[in-house]
Amino acid sequence: MQCKEKLITMKSTTDMDKSLWKQLEAFEKKGIDRRRFFKIMAAAGVFAGLNNQKVKASSCKAKGKIVIIGGGAAGISIASRLKHELEEPNITIIDPSDRQYYQPGFTLIASGIYKPEEVWKRQEDCIPSGVKWIKDSVTAVDPIWNNVVTTSNGKISYDFLVLVPGIQINWNEIEGFDYNQLGKGNAHCIYDFKGAQMTWKAMKEFTEKGGKGVYTDTYTKHKCGGAPKKICLLTADYAQKHNHREQLSLTYYTAEKDLYDVKYFTPRLKEIYKERNVPIELNTRVKGIDTEKKQVYFERIEKNGEEKIVTPFVEDYDFLHFTPPMSAPNFVKEAGLGFKEGKLAAGGWVEVDKETFVHKTYSNIISFGDAAGLPTSKTSAAIRMQVPIATKNLIALMEGKEPSNKYDGYAACPIITDYGHVLLCEFDYDKEPKISFPFSMLDMSKEQWAAWILKVYILKPLYFYGMLKGYA
């Protein structure tokens, strides 16, 4: 079945337009020159296509019941695109949350840049009209009989499954810790909405009182790998701006063999840590946390030839920001949909072709986003590039065709280095830089003011009014 193009006419003044202008007015009051902003952003092509009143779409007669597990960035974005492109869409989203969070904003809450109410909207306002929403949790998937089991709504059948449930945070895998202890003993984490709010309050108090700050990532793949790096650097900068930096000792611990794995950006990032007097400890993972004693139990893992040497040690802290282990949801693993071997097996990440997102065993299942076993960073910027490809490939499957659209691994991690600058790390599967905006006049291997504007003022309205609507 061939798809024919049609045009979708948007409002002359979109919600995204209004939001962008509201942001412009807000930072203009802060002394940021609007002309300078537009000059740089226009050159970068940031606004290209955002204000177009006509959006190309396809009118496809392909039919089939599509069930989407997950109502986050990936789930709602692909639902919107499918609704635009299918003539008679039959789409169901299963997700228990009544809120849609802009999760990249959690770091900005934790550093006092955003207010908590600025990063979420009601889920019912984000679900595309005409798309059925089942407000429930998935407990199992049967890929042989093509059905999904939910907590309250029983079995739900599908012809095609879009498996985008997001990521599972495994708090209990840290010895001596569970979610209920978050914030206690000044142990904090910004991968949680409430946690981000507690982090901001605690960070301010810590910089005023002084002491030892410990910052960690984790040994598993995790969403927004730059987040723990950001909050560490923002703490240092906040303290510096308030004349408290000398009374702080900050150390960053990473389970990786280097601070960052994209060589184009790594040298400058390491220089920034050195300039901020923040030592970096490599090959070091968190084993446990004692919130009463305010101690972190570490393991340094090194190799001597084929021999693995594990060295345990303990660090006291006054302020702790840690990154918990993460994985695909349990029901993905239990359904046998995850990788069985290799580096991606331990996390149960969905076993898909890294270019087409089609499951390697079940060809009527597509998965991308945080839960998918893709060898790239788990960020909303990556999802934004994955959604159009996933949409086209799913429609191809519905038409009985081979999916031909391919993803090159694009991901972006805007690492905030201080209050006013961002190191915009963009790269592909080969860990080569892949600058999506033509900042031709700027050296993107270094932190930039323009990237800060993009991160703080542009990406959030682009998310809610562009990406989730199926237009960006």
Block residue for tokens 């594990």: 310
Round to the nearest angstrom and report the end-to-end CA distance of the chain: 26
Q: Which residues pair with 248 in a beta bridge?
A: 211
State how far the Cα of 129 lies from the Cα of 417, in Å rounded to an integer: 40
Residue 60 sits at φ, ψ, to 5 deg, of: -105, 135
425 given a catalytic annotation: no
Alpha helices in 219-329 (DSSP H): 227-241, 266-275
> Is 4-17+49-167+330-411+450-467's fold the same as 171-326's?
yes
Beta strands in 145-232 (DSSP E): 147-150, 155-157, 160-163, 168-169, 187-188, 211-216
CB contact at 8 A, 156 and 132:
no
Read off the pTM.
0.91
Which among 3, 60, 232, 413 is annotated as catalytic? 413
Domain ranges of the chain: 4-17+49-167+330-411+450-467, 171-326
**Could you tell me how many helices (H) and strands (E) the chain has, helices first?**
12, 24
State how far the Cα of 468 lies from the Cα of 472, in Å rounded to an integer: 8
224 given a catalytic annotation: yes
State how far the Cα of 440 lies from the Cα of 419, in Å rounded to an integer: 23
Q: Dihedral angle at the C-alpha atoms of 334, 335, 337, 340, nearest 10 degrees? A: 50
State how far the Cα of 42 lies from the Cα of 194, in Å rounded to an integer: 36
Return the CATH class of domain 171-326: alpha beta
CB contact at 8 A, 95 and 123:
yes
CB contact at 8 A, 324 and 171:
yes
Which among 60, 126, 224, 232 is annotated as catalytic? 224
Quick one: which H or E segment has residue 9? Answer: strand 4-9
Block residue for tokens 């802009």: 102
CB contact at 8 A, 382 and 70:
no
Q: Dihedral angle at the C-alpha atoms of 267, 273, 275, 278, nearest 10 degrees? A: -150
How would you write the pLDDT of the chain (472 residues) with one tens digit per residue? 456 555 444 443 355 555 555 655 555 555 555 555 555 454 444 444 444 334 455 678 889 999 999 999 999 999 999 999 999 999 999 999 999 999 999 999 999 999 999 999 999 999 999 999 999 999 999 999 999 999 999 999 999 999 999 999 999 999 999 999 999 999 999 999 999 999 999 999 999 999 999 999 999 999 998 999 999 999 999 999 999 999 999 999 999 999 999 999 999 999 999 999 999 999 999 999 999 999 999 999 998 888 899 999 999 999 999 999 999 999 999 999 999 999 999 999 999 999 999 999 999 999 999 999 999 999 999 999 999 999 999 999 999 999 999 999 999 999 999 999 999 999 999 999 988 755 556 788 999 998 999 999 999 999 999 999 999 8
Q: Does domain 4-17+49-167+330-411+450-467 have CATH number 3.50.50.60?
A: yes
